[in-house]
């Protein structure tokens, strides 16, 4: 399932990974063409941020200063450790749920190391370094959001033991991947799937076809989602503190057995169908 054709020698290479699925990034192995693809993606996506992204994303992207080349994770880690205590770890691609949660629960965020081709600028089947880095990493510089993701990782490990991964997947999808935030009266994007998508970031805010509702945990964990088109339904949080509270509430529901009657459905959430949460949350 990891054999994906590419002109990148790094794509889908699981042969050199460690037991925790990490690899060395080997930044010097990137070609001039791959750095140019990064610059193309970065230029057009960063131009969308002032209109659509939340303030924390805009500030963090400026702080990271990674416009000119695929980021060197070691260099970014020095800044990230000082800001929130997180670290980025390089991975070859999709990783299993338990490994993913364990990294989050130790304040490590897995970043895929290969980058898409020019033919895939607007659509890619699985996460690459641009999605993982541009979509996820900026908010790791925000203390509240970073703490939320840490708790999400711990909650994910508990959810696996309680057979409640489906509910965590839905919360992840409608917040971390496709979340909106209301700031100073305006709707803003913070979800990584929106931040890294050239077409959907504008669609999520401007399109009359999208239903947007203030988030309610009961709705989210009972809401089926689809992964192969622009999202027709999005949920709005008030702040990252609000988001953090939702994770704590869902964990309490898990502990008290309140998730037994959650609606069925989901595209490939079980381990036999997925290697990772990230497959469901980025295959669009």
pLDDT at residue 123 tops 80: no
pLDDT band at 158 (very low <50, low <70, confident <90, very high): confident
177 is catalytic: yes
From the candidates 8, 34, 131, 200, which is the catalytic residue?
131
> What's the pLDDT at 247?
84
229 is catalytic: no
Q: Name the pTM for this structure.
A: 0.84
C-beta of residue 166 within 8 angstroms of C-beta of residue 160: no
Domains and CATH numbers, the chain: 27-282 (1.10.800.10)
> What's the pLDDT at 7?
37
35 is catalytic: no
- What is the bridge-based pairing of β-strands 186-189 and 211-214? unpaired
From the candidates 34, 56, 177, 279, which is the catalytic residue?
177
> What's the pLDDT at 260?
57
From the candidates 8, 196, 197, 204, which is the catalytic residue?
196
pLDDT at residue 76 tops 90: yes
pLDDT at residue 5 tops 50: no
Model pLDDT for residues 193-236, shown as the tens digit of each residue: 999 998 899 999 999 999 999 999 989 888 877 777 889 999 99
119 is catalytic: no
> What's the pLDDT at 206?
96
> What's the pLDDT at 4?
31
SS (H, E, C) 239-283: CHHHHHHHHHHHHHHHHCCCCCCCCCCCCCCCCCCCCCHHHHHHC
Count the alpha carbons within 13 Å of 247 in the hemisphere toward its beta carbon.
24
């Amino acid at each position: 399932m990891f054999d994906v054709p590419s002109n990148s020698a790094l794509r889908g290479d699981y042969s050199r990974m460690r037991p925790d699925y990490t690899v060395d990034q080997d930044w010097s192995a990137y070609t001039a063409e791959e750095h140019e693809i990064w610059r193309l993606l970065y230029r057009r996506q960063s131009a969308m941020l002032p209109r659509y992204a939340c303030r924390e994303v805009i500030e963090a992207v400026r702080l990271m200063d990674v416009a000119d080349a695929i980021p060197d994770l070691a260099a970014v880690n020095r800044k990230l450790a000082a800001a929130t205590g997180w670290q980025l770890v390089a991975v070859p691609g999709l990783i299993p749920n338990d490994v993913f949660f364990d990294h989050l629960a130790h304040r490590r965020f897995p970043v895929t190391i290969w980058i898409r081709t020019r033919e895939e600028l607007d659509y890619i089947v699985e996460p690459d370094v641009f999605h993982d880095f541009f979509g996820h990493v900026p908010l790791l510089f925000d203390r509240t959001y970073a703490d939320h993701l840490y708790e999400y990782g711990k909650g994910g490990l508990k959810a696996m033991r309680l057979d409640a991964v489906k509910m965590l997947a839905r919360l992840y999808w409608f917040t971390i991947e496709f979340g909106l935030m209301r700031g100073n009266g305006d709707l803003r994007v913070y979800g990584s799937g929106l931040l890294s998508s050239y077409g959907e970031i504008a669609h999520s805010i401007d399109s009359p076809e999208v239903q947007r509702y203030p988030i309610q945990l009961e709705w989210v964990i009972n809401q089926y989602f689809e992964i192969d088109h622009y999202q027709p339904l999005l949920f709005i949080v008030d702040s990252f503190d609000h988001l953090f509270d939702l994770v704590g509430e869902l964990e309490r529901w898990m502990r008290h057995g309140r998730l037994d009657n959650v609606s069925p459905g989901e595209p490939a959430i079980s381990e036999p169908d997925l290697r990772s949460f990230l497959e469901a949350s980025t295959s669009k």
